[in-house]
Chain A
Amino acid sequence: MATEPKPASGFEEGLTGASETVASFEQKERGLKKIQHWLHQTPSAVPMIVLIASVIVFAFLSDNFFRATTMSTILQQIAIVGIIGCAQTIVILTAGIDLSVGAIAVFSSVLMGQFTFRYGIPAPAAIALGLAAGAAMGALNGFLISRLKLPPFIVTLGTWQIFLASNFIFSQNETIRSREISEQAPALQFWGYAIQPGGVKVLYAVFLMIALVAVMSYVLRNTAWGRHVYAVGDDAEAAQLAGVQTDRILIQVYTLAGLFCAIAGWVMIGRFGSVSPTASTGQLGNIQSITAVVIGGISLFGGRGSIVGMFFGALIVGVFEMGLRLVGTDPQWTFFLIGVLIIFAVAVDQWIRKVSS
């Protein structure tokens, strides 16, 4: 060894005359592989196909289904889940999970109501305080997760109970009735108003949900912050080394999620008319939003999927609920089929992930 000749790269002389073509990509792909690649790049395609298919099926099964009023009712019913879904989407994109979304929404709505009626704060200021409180609750989640490095599931399982209990304690289980709100603080019910083009009622809340999805879709796709959210969910350590401030991104994501939940809380007042600390969203909001996210093709392992997919996922749930009711089946079939869809969606996600192999 000691007499090894220099330069030491003698073994590479064999390269002279070697083919100069460098690695290129095989373009011929079998059909299924092609679909896999396409889905890899367009993750919201699966829920869109399922959505269109289910609309067509229900249109055949029930004459009343494919009508503007039915469609607007579906949109109205998914408005709250859709907005909470925006919060859940950005959290799940960072490979986290937020079980406290529903509790934040209900607690924020109760805070808005009680600030107005118990403390006499003008409604717009009370709403602003409620939104700030929601963001602060989200920030607490973010702080515990990014700074204390606790798992998101555990943190939000705890804060879910904490926020929900605080909500009952603070409100003393009091409901603020719809009449009082519409007489004294109509701003709280803003999102329950509607425009009626051609007799079809479309709530402001529906426009708000669509606007939020559109804005977040832009932010996630076209801004550096959005790419960082994906990078953190994809591989947090790699993102950190590549120059992403992962802790800061996590806190921002959970805070923004809290703000979205508070917005959903405001929308709840408009949708239900009253402010109720026992609204079912407190218990079910997390499961409903996670369902929309998963059916929407967003990976629970983070870094993959699009918020538009979540919107389709929420719509699919709405279409199933409405369609099966119009067809006249046992409502339990809705949950049965949604369960099947969830498993199908995760199976597709796993398959798409294998794209490189």
Chain B
Amino acid sequence: MSEPILYARNLVKRYGKVTALDHCDFDLMPGEILAVIGDNGAGKSSLIKALSGAVQPDEGEITLEGRKVQFGSPLEARGYGIECVYQTLAMSPALSIADNMFMGRELRKPGIMGSWFRQLDRPKMEAFAREKLNELGLMTIQNINQAVETLSGGQRQGVAVARAAAFGSKVVILDEPTAALGVKESRKVLELIRDVRSRGIPIILISHNMPHVFEVADRIHIHRLGRRLAVIRPDEYSMSDAVAFMTGAKLPEGVAA
């Protein structure tokens, strides 16, 4: 197999006396969907935050496309083409859908209005936001200018996923993207994930939903006690095996305790 597009070696992150990441390794291959599963408190979120720039690891290094990178902030990671949908969604409730989708990368009007008066190109941003939401098919939004807080939980999640899918050019990270969604809406998100992969963009999917993980993932990274326990293929193991691995009830072959 080819080189991993994104990999991390020996990541360590401590919060006071708690070691959230304990010399953790991570590999993401080009064009794959990699699921990350693990029990609560295993350090999945810390791993994702380190990869997306939201936290800075104390030790270890991250390599993107063969180059060592360091993300001081989510903005820097985004500059490298890594988009993330956080569990908290990271949206401003009082702002509109379009404002939220373009937060931190607003489009400005062409000409003097944009360069001198810094005026936002509202019509273009709204049209783009509407198009992306329609692509996702998650909802029929009548008013793209309505505040995000007036949307239902599932719709909010849809907007957040649409934002990451629209802008992620190298890697898209999804933290529990289907947690707040109904069956139908989850299906749309899973379709979207495949759709993103078909555009050649690899995806990291963190989820507790085993059927979803086993359905879409190419490989499954099992996280346990702050480090990578194993990477398995969904067609070689069953869901109950995976659950046993992540809770420590069983060990995969070839892994020493």
Contact = CB atoms under 8 A, between A and B. Distances in A.
Given A224-B108, A243-B104, A18 B184 contact: yes
Nearest to A239: B92
Contacts of B74: 240-243
A355 B149 contact: yes
B73 A245 contact: yes
Interface string B192-205: 00000000000000
B120 A239 contact: no
A195 interface: no
B118 A1 contact: no
Contacts of A25: 141-143
B92 A6 contact: no
A8 B210 contact: yes
Contacts of B54: 241
Interface residues of B, number: 56
Contact of A303 (B75, B92, B137, B139): B92
B139 A23 contact: yes
B89 interface: yes
Interface in B81-119: 84, 86, 88-95, 99-100, 103-106, 108, 117-119
Contacts of A4: 238-240
A2 B239 CA distance: 7
B75 A222 contact: no
- B73, B108, B143, B185 — most chain A CB neighbours (10 Å): B73
Given A1-B238, A22-B184, A242-B103, A237 B118 contact: no
Interface-central residue, A2, A8, A11, A40, by most chain B CB under 10 Å: A8
A355 B231 CA distance: 46
Given A230-B92, A242-B91, A243-B103, A23 B152 contact: yes
A22 B90 contact: no
Interface residues of A, number: 44
Taking each of A4, A225, A245, which has the highest tally of chain B beta carbons within 10 Å of its own beta carbon? Answer: A4
B183 to A, nearest CB: 6
Contact of A243 (B75, B118, B235): B75
B215 interface: yes
A227 B94 CA distance: 11
A239 B103 contact: yes
B214 interface: yes
Contacts of B94: 230, 234, 303-304
A185 B95 CA distance: 47
Interface in B119-135: 119-120, 122
B63 to A, nearest CB: 23
Contacts of A218: 117
12 contacts: A4-B238, A4-B239, A12-B183, A24-B140, A24-B142, A27-B142, A227-B103, A235-B93, A243-B78, A243-B104, A244-B104, A356-B150
Interface of A: 1-4, 6-9, 11-12, 15, 18, 22-25, 27, 37, 40-41, 218, 222-225, 227-228, 230-231, 234-235, 237-245, 303-304, 355-356
